[in-house]
Amino acid sequence: MERLTNSLRVRLTSVVLVIHAALVPLLYLGVSAIVEDGYAELFVNPLRSNSRLIADELEAADAQEFPRYAGALLDSVVLSGQVVFAEITDGAQTLHSSLSSVSPGRARGDDFEFADHGDQVYYISHRVKRGTRWVVLRLGFDEGPTLERIAAAKRRVLAAVLAFTAASIAVAIWLSAVIARPMVRLQEAAKRVAGGDVHTELQMHSSIREVRELNHHLERMRQELVGTNDRLESEIRGREASEQKRLDLERRLLHRERIASIGTLAGGVAHEFNNILTPILLYSQIALDDTAPDGALARDLTRIVAAAHRARSLVNRILTFSREMHSQEPAVFSLRPTVEEALALMRAIVPANIEVDFDASEDGTAVQGDPSLVHQVVINLCTNAYQAMRRTGGRLSVKLRGIDNPGDGQINPGSYALLEVGDTGHGMEQAVILHIFEPFFTTRDVGEGTGLGLSVVHGIVTSMGGSITVESAVGQGTTFRVYLPAAAAQVCERSGALG
């Protein structure tokens, strides 16, 4: 950019300089010559006619008085100024004005060129007829003043030419700057565009038409570039989005397939297991029946029966799990079986020092949604409750009922299925309660909790159009209340009536 300015300016200026270097001496010499010629003419022409007049007077002079008359004439001529030398000669005799400032010896011969030698005297000769003879009148004129005037004129010409040159150079420098500035700005703009900033409009208000046109063309190029850029960018975004969609779909399909195969496997294993467990349970109960109640054998058989029962509930959980994974379309379903299934799972997990009780009424607990999600809600809430009581033990109580217009300011009036999960655990401080529904908020040790449990619950509940509230007292326990909008329609046969 600097280079361009410099090179353009230097170029323009030096071109102007070269042109002047060539032209200025020529101009000076030419003008000087014209001035010189003019002055010479002005000097010479009157002298010629004057000296002619003098020659005519000499011709007309009376013969007797001629010498005296001629002497007086010559003197008067010299006295009138300008003439610095006057003489008449007939070859043999020479009459010379004693007033001449140039001595006869120094006076040269005839001379009709102005200033052609160094004595600064211009000589004119006239042949004058005296009777039958010819005499020659020679007059010398002082060139000095004229030469001085010429020199002065030449000096003025020189000054004018030099002033003109200076002005030209100044104009050249200014002009080059005027031309270079918009060029530089255009160059900067072009550089910005090349550097990626394609969104700044190129605005060049220049008085130079070419610059304006150049700007116009560059601006059109930029707009085209922006258009192309935008098109490419949106194309890329579109591709990325569809690729993402494809990946999502693929992942979901894979997930579904995996779940389905887990379900199939679980179903097969469950079938086999239940068949195997049937004789184990029945034979051990027969044997128990045949044994004296207080013996060691009876105790062992009781253990076998208990183990078989545990195995049965485990298989049921696996079946439940795989069924949950299979049903995904939202449907109207009764909450009770779903909550029961989830609680069956919890019962298997929680230690003996925690009591689990479930109190449910069927009425008004049908909701619309995905049962497996509600399953998840129950599991997450119960897991937190269990974790709050792990050390101390306590009671996990789950309640389910339908209510109309809960008297809770946070809940809109209407019919709801209310699921309550209460514990007698350590409870929470207000500062904790404020954040529990935030993703990744956890008070558990690193690696122990992800802090996603309640945010998932919150997400599921709100996606079903419901709300969740919490009530907690430090040291006493916590109760979560989930309000799900009641489905007015009858309970769906599939998942409800069979429960």
Partner 1 sequence: MASILVVDDEPEVGEAIRRVLARAGFLVAVANSAEDGLRRMDEQRPDIVITDVIMPKVHGLELITMLLSRHPRVRIIAISGGGSFGPLAYKPDAISTHAYLAAAREAGAQELLTKPFDMSDLLAAVRKLLPN
Ligand X SMILES: Nc1ncnc2c1ncn2[C@@H]1O[C@H](COP(=O)(O)OP(=O)(O)OP(=O)(O)O)[C@@H](O)[C@H]1O
> Applying CB under 6 A, which residues contact ligand X?
384-385, 388, 423, 425-428, 432, 436, 441-444, 449-455, 478
CB of 278 to partner 1, least distance (A): 4
**Between 71 and 449, whose beta carbon lies closer to ligand X?**
449
Contact 479, 471 (CB under 8 A): yes
**Between 393 and 451, whose beta carbon lies closer to Mg ion?**
451
119: enclosing H helix or E strand? none
DSSP 496: I
Residue 280's binding partner out of ligand X, Mg ion, partner 1, none, with CB under 5 to 8 Å set by partner kind: partner 1
Pick from 333, 366, 367, 361: nearest CA to 492 = 333
Give the whole-angstrom CA distance, residue 189 versus residue 204. Answer: 10
Q: Which of 74, 183, 308, 464 binds partner 1 (CB under 8 A)?
A: 308
Q: Which of 263, 364, 369, 453 binds Mg ion (CB under 5 A)?
A: 453
Give the whole-angstrom CA distance, residue 99 versus residue 102. Answer: 9
Residue with tokens 């200026």: 13
User: Using CB under 8 A as the criterion, what x/- string covers residues 217-256 for binding partner 1?
Assistant: ----------------------------------------
Radius of gyration from C-alpha coordinates of the chain: 64
Residues 261 to 280 in contact with partner 1, rule: CB under 8 A:
263-264, 266-268, 270-280
Contact 469, 415 (CB under 8 A): no
Contacts of 299 (CB under 8 A, 6+ apart): none
Give the whole-angstrom CA distance, residue 349 versus residue 344. Answer: 9
Contacts of 95 (CB under 8 A, 6+ apart): 67, 70, 71, 74, 87, 88, 89
Stretch that binds partner 1, among 156-164, 213-221, 227-235, 284-292 (CB under 8 A): 284-292
Asked if residue 330 binds partner 1 (CB under 8 A), the reply is no
Asked if residue 257 binds partner 1 (CB under 8 A), the reply is no
Contact 387, 402 (CB under 8 A): no
Residues 359 to 418 in contact with Mg ion, rule: CB under 5 A:
384
Asked if residue 301 binds partner 1 (CB under 8 A), the reply is no
Residue 396's binding partner out of partner 1, ligand X, Mg ion, none, with CB under 5 to 8 Å set by partner kind: none
Residue 278's binding partner out of Mg ion, ligand X, partner 1, none, with CB under 5 to 8 Å set by partner kind: partner 1
Residues 468 to 497 in contact with partner 1, rule: CB under 8 A:
494
Residue 386: both structure tokens together: 């269990």
**Taking the CA of residue 485 as centre, how many other CA atoms within 13 Å lie in the half-sphere pointing to its CB?**
14
Residue 350's binding partner out of Mg ion, ligand X, partner 1, none, with CB under 5 to 8 Å set by partner kind: none
For partner 1, the binding residues (CB under 8 A) are 263-264, 266-268, 270-283, 285-286, 289, 308, 312, 319, 322-323, 326-327, 494, 498-499
